[in-house]
């Protein structure tokens, strides 16, 4: 496993930066690989690395494009984990089957029924391994007999209940699986599946040594514990939404060094003032500023970039490209799950658009949202608070149903705050509904 010191990693990245040619897009653009100017943060990277050795499940959470996936790629080697990208229509059985597939199993539906009446799944080893039957046997059943000098071991196709965590554990243990299991985009799973899997996590913790790394876009530290209180002290949460000015400055400086440029202090200050503490927005502003003056790769001659650049206009240009998606979010959310008399989704959006950016950055309280809605809703003070809370809790589910990717807002049930988890939405131009 990698588990390297973050300081050592930073030093290695810093060696001979200018001697290698990099493209501006590779440095400041969105990449499938780890960003070249990745910045380690003590309150994020070190917490994550320390968590890996504690035998507890880990939740990496934060707003969209704030470095959740990069954190995993930085601190772990590729062969330390398997990755499952969660889908918005998966049931618990689908998620369990995906875990088995990522571990190397071939999974197919069986004709055998579970106690609940659903079909079991038949799994068999692939990628060069088979599943041994527990104990010895003399008859061949399933795959193949493998002879040793003194005995014959029979390999079997296993029939499992895909809803049973114990069956999944048994299958993984049968092949001595030992990697971390990463669940990317966990927030896209239906609420019921997230809740069901929180109970699976407890079983995985108590009955096996398997460790899950759950990656999700939300601002609630203990959401899984909220689903299942038994996960208390069995889950460690790592918040990546902690981009302070010092860390963002380091991102800008390190990226500039890779291109043999630096950004003027005037430009840096303007960027930090328009970024809403989003590393993605910082990266994109730097990329456009460099490309805007013809810098597409590492420069032979050192240059200073940013003087005279209109950062507000550059920022507006970035956000304008997302205007269609933000309109889609607003209109899609307003439509709700179905037509109702109270039209609560519409009133949630109304309240959201009433808040200044400064308040949205911090997250807005339920009681404030309630006050704003009741001041304008036809039912006024007679409106039941539960109707407002219900749609807030369902905010992620509604966005998933409307195929809004990434999520724009999310509700923290623990702290009763509505958060904007897509920072670009904060910099949008006013949109009339």
Question: pTM of this prediction?
Answer: 0.86
**Structure confidence at residue 47 (pLDDT):** 96
Q: Is the residue at 365 inside a domain?
A: yes
Look up the domain containing 295 and give its range. Answer: 16-30+245-320
Three-state DSSP at 58 gives strand
Q: Indicate if 289 and 422 belong to the same structural domain.
A: no
Contact 160, 113 (CB under 8 A): no
| Per-residue CA distances from 46 to 72, 317, 391, 398 (Å) | 12, 36, 37, 35
**Structure confidence at residue 144 (pLDDT):** 39
Q: Pick from 49, 94, 64: which is nearest to 419 by CA? A: 64
Q: Indicate if 257 and 202 belong to the same structural domain.
A: no
CA 194 vs. chain centroid, Å, equals 14
Give pLDDT < 50 ranges for the chain. Answer: 4-18, 127-130, 132-156
Choosing from 265, 297, 320, the residue where a domain stops is 320
| CATH code of 96's domain | 3.40.50.300
**Structure confidence at residue 136 (pLDDT):** 33
Q: Is the residue at 172 inside a domain?
A: no
Q: How many domains does the chain have?
A: 4
Pairing of strands 235-239, 57-62: parallel
Q: Pick from 361, 371, 349: which is nearest to 431 by CA? A: 349
Contact 23, 295 (CB under 8 A): no
The position carrying tokens 């062969």 is: 79
**Structure confidence at residue 160 (pLDDT):** 87
Q: Indicate if 402 and 337 belong to the same structural domain.
A: yes
Q: Indicate if 216 and 68 belong to the same structural domain.
A: yes
Contact 235, 58 (CB under 8 A): yes
Q: Is the residue at 37 inside a domain?
A: no
Contact 395, 409 (CB under 8 A): yes
**Structure confidence at residue 203 (pLDDT):** 96
Choosing from 206, 222, 242, the residue where a domain stops is 242
Q: Indicate if 311 and 349 belong to the same structural domain.
A: no
Find all residues with CB under 8 Å of 340, minimum gap 6, and list them.
none
d(CA 415, CA 221): 10
Q: Indicate if 79 and 223 belong to the same structural domain.
A: yes
């Amino acid at each position: 496993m990698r588990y390297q010191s973050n300081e050592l990693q930073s030093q290695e990245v810093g060696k001979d930066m200018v001697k290698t040619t990099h493209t501006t897009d590779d440095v400041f653009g969105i990449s499938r690989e780890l960003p070249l100017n990745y910045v380690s943060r003590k309150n994020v990277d070190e917490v994550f690395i320390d968590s890996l050795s504690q035998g507890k499940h880990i939740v990496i959470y934060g707003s969209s494009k704030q470095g959740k996936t990069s954190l995993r790629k930085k601190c772990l080697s590729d062969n330390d984990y398997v990755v499952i990208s969660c889908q918005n229509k998966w049931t618990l059985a689908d998620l369990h089957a995906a875990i088995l597939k990522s571990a190397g199993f071939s999974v197919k539906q069986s004709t055998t029924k579970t106690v609940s009446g659903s079909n079991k799944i038949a799994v068999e080893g692939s990628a060069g391994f088979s599943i041994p039957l527990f104990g010895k046997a003399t008859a061949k059943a399933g795959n193949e007999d493998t002879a040793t000098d003194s005995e014959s071991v029979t390999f079997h196709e296993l029939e499992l209940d895909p809803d049973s965590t114990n069956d999944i554990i048994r299958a993984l243990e049968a092949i001595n699986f030992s990697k971390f299991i990463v669940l990317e985009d966990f927030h896209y799973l239906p609420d019921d599946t997230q809740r069901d899997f929180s109970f699976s996590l407890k079983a995985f913790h108590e009955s096996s040594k398997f460790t899950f790394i759950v990656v999700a876009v939300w601002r609630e530290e203990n959401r899984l514990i909220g689903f299942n209180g038994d996960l208390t002290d069995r889950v460690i949460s790592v918040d990546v939404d902690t981009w302070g000015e010092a860390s963002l400055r380091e991102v800008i400086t390190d990226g500039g060094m890779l291109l043999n440029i630096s950004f003027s202090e005037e430009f840096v200050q303007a960027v930090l003032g328009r970024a809403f503490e989003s590393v993605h927005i910082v990266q994109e502003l730097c990329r456009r500023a460099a490309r805007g003056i013809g810098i597409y790769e590492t420069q032979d001659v050192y240059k200073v970039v940013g003087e005279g650049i209109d950062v507000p206009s550059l920022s507006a240009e970035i956000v304008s490209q997302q205007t269609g998606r933000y309109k889609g979010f607003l209109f899609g959310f307003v439509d709700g799950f179905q037509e109702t008399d109270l039209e609560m989704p519409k009133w949630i959006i109304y309240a959201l658009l009433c808040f200044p950016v400064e308040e949205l950055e911090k997250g807005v309280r339920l009681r404030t949202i309630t006050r704003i809605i009741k001041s304008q809703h036809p039912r006024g003070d007679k409106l039941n608070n539960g109707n407002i809370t219900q749609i807030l809790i369902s905010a992620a589910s509604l966005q998933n149903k409307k195929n809004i990717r990434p999520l724009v807002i999310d509700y923290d049930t623990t702290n009763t705050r509505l958060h904007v988890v897509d920072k670009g939405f904060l910099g949008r131009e006013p949109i009339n509904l």
